[in-house]
């Protein structure tokens, strides 16, 4: 108790210096948390991926499609529980700035494969019945104010023309990291329109989604699928949903790496600032530490006082920084709109923030502790006035 009192009073001796150091730590820990959350948001697709789902695409590129006939062949393979398919639509809602993913999906099967999308049964029924019906995620509702019954027009880019939809349902996510910034509509609607306007593009599928009987069989089923369509006009590449999502992340890997580096750089900078603060503090108090040593206090006691003070300042700043991360991340996520469909501070980030704070406090105290512990008493006492 006595030592704790001494540590806290020492920490508050130079209020301005301590205040500015704490402010620096708050900003650094906040920035670190925010940047880590951005990185997490980048990876959310792979994190949220199911282990029992495989994605099959054209082996050349996602740009190329596959025949619809693959569906029945895949369904008959051992280890496959269900199959559905989808196409990336890539339409524009009002202006290019309003970006959100749109998928034409096989309405009768797709949502059985994605139990994490929660749709009220009545709305799902209405969606299934209406060829022009659409299901929108909660985040799109929040961003664009969509309501059930609204007419929505999308300007096609991959599939030219103006496409009219009626919002028939709104889905929520069962998990915090479920993407609710997507727009789903009937693949049949897309296909029928293609049959009329561009017959050569009809009956083409962007990706097959395969539900597995067991996650253990993922590699085996993927190999079987790709083997089946080898030497065909559209050879396939089948991978786990997580690998498929990571493929997208790898396209922007350099940005993610840069963000990660900056996040650690911020911590390194505040570590240097904090180390300077502690070095100044200990240098000013050499006479006091020398007095303590003269009275019989050993290097362990001095280490306790210096480490304690450094950790107390770092812990206080970190706690404030962590507390502020939540409201700031919330505002940041909202400001980013649908760019980051999932944006929240996860527990791993909190642990990393806490560890960063403790490491900053410990490292900053290291050299001053060594210096105070090795100081000769007579030299320390001489530094009095």
Partner 1 sequence: MSQIAQPVVEIRNLAKSYRRGDQVVSVLTNITFDIAAGDYVALMGPSGSGKSTLLNLIAGIDKPDSGVLRVGGIDITSLGEAELANWRSRNVGFIFQFYNLMPVLTAFENVELPLLLTDLPSRERADHVNAALSMVGLADRMEHFPSELSGGQQQRVAIARAIITDPTILVADEPTGDLDRVSAEDVLNMLGQLNRELGKTIIMVTHDPHSAANAHTVQHLDKGELRIEN
Among the listed ranges 5-13, 53-61, 62-70, 344-352, the one in contact with partner 1 (CB under 8 A) is: 5-13
Least Cβ distance, residue 303 to partner 1 (angstroms): 14
Find the binder of partner 1 among 116, 172, 220, 288 (CB under 8 A): 288
- Residues 110 and 103: their CA atoms lie apart, in Å, by 11
Q: Which of residues 287 and 367 has its CB atom nearest to partner 1 in the complex?
A: 287
Find the binder of partner 1 among 173, 237, 293, 360 (CB under 8 A): 293
Least Cβ distance, residue 287 to partner 1 (angstroms): 7
Q: According to the binding rule CB under 8 A, does residue 304 interact with partner 1?
A: no
DSSP 8-state class, residue 92: B
Return the half-sphere exposure (C-beta side, CA atoms, 13 A cut-off) of residue 68. 12
Place of tokens 């951005």: 38
Q: Which of residues 1 and 254 has its CB atom nearest to partner 1 in the complex?
A: 1
Q: According to the binding rule CB under 8 A, does residue 385 interact with partner 1?
A: yes
Q: Which of residues 305 and 364 has its CB atom nearest to partner 1 in the complex?
A: 305
Q: Which of residues 22 and 292 has its CB atom nearest to partner 1 in the complex?
A: 292
- Using a 10 angstrom Cβ sphere, with 0-12 exposed, 13-18 middle and 19 or more buried, the burial of residue 94 is exposed
Q: Are the C-beta atoms of 214 and 48 separated by less than 8 Å?
A: no
Among the listed ranges 16-24, 64-72, 290-298, 334-342, the one in contact with partner 1 (CB under 8 A) is: 290-298
What separation in angstroms does the CA of 333 have from each of 52, 196, 343?
30, 41, 6
Q: According to the binding rule CB under 8 A, does residue 6 interact with partner 1?
A: yes
Q: According to the binding rule CB under 8 A, does residue 377 interact with partner 1?
A: yes
- Pick from 55, 81, 80: which is nearest to 66 by CA? 55
Rg of the Cα atoms in the chain: 29
Q: According to the binding rule CB under 8 A, does residue 283 interact with partner 1?
A: no
Q: Which of residues 7 and 266 has its CB atom nearest to partner 1 in the complex?
A: 7
* H helical segments located in 201-252: 218-228, 241-251
- Give first-to-last CA distance, the chain, whole Å: 31
Strand partners, 101: none
Please give the residue ranges that form the binding site for partner 1 (CB under 8 A). 2, 5-6, 9-10, 13, 287-288, 291-298, 376-378, 381, 384-385
């Amino acid at each position: 108790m006595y030592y704790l009192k001494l540590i806290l009073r020492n920490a508050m001796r130079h209020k301005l210096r301590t205040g500015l150091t704490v402010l620096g730590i708050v900003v650094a820990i906040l920035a670190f948390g925010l940047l880590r959350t951005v990185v997490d948001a980048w990876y959310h697709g792979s994190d949220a991926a199911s282990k029992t789902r495989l994605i099959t695409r054209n082996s050349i590129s996602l740009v190329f499609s596959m025949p619809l006939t693959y569906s029945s062949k895949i369904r008959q393979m051992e280890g496959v529980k269900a199959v559905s398919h989808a196409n990336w639509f890539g339409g524009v809602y009002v202006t290019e700035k309003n970006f959100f993913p749109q998928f034409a999906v096989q309405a009768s099967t797709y949502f059985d494969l994605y139990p994490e999308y929660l749709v009220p049964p009545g709305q799902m029924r209405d969606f299934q019945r209406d060829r022009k019906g659409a299901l929108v995620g909660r985040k799109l509702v929040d961003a664009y104010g969509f309501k059930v019954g609204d007419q929505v027009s999308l300007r096609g880019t991959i599939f030219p023309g103006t496409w009219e939809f009626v919002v028939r349902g709104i889905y929520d996510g069962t998990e915090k990291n479920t993407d609710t910034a997507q727009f789903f509509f009937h693949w049949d609607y897309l296909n029928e329109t293609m049959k009329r306007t561009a017959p050569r593009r009809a009956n083409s599928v962007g990706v097959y989604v395969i539900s597995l009987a067991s996650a253990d069989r993922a590699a085996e089923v993927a190999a079987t699928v790709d083997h089946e369509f080898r030497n065909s006009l559209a050879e396939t590449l089948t991978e786990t949903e997580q690998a498929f999502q990571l493929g997208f992340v790898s396209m922007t890997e350099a940005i993610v790496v840069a963000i990660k580096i900056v996040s650690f750089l911020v911590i390194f900078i505040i570590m240097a600032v904090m180390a300077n603060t502690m070095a100044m503090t200990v240098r000013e108090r050499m006479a006091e530490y020398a007095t303590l040593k003269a009275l019989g206090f050993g290097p362990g006691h001095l280490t306790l006082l210096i480490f304690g003070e450094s950790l107390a300042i770092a812990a206080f700043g970190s706690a404030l920084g962590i507390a502020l991360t939540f409201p700031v991340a919330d505002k940041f996520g909202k400001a980013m709109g649908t760019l980051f469909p999932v944006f929240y501070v996860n527990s791993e980030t909190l642990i990393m923030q806490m560890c960063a704070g403790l490491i900053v406090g410990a490292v900053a105290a290291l050299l001053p502790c060594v210096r105070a512990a090795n100081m000769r008493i007579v030299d320390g006492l001489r530094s009095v006035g």
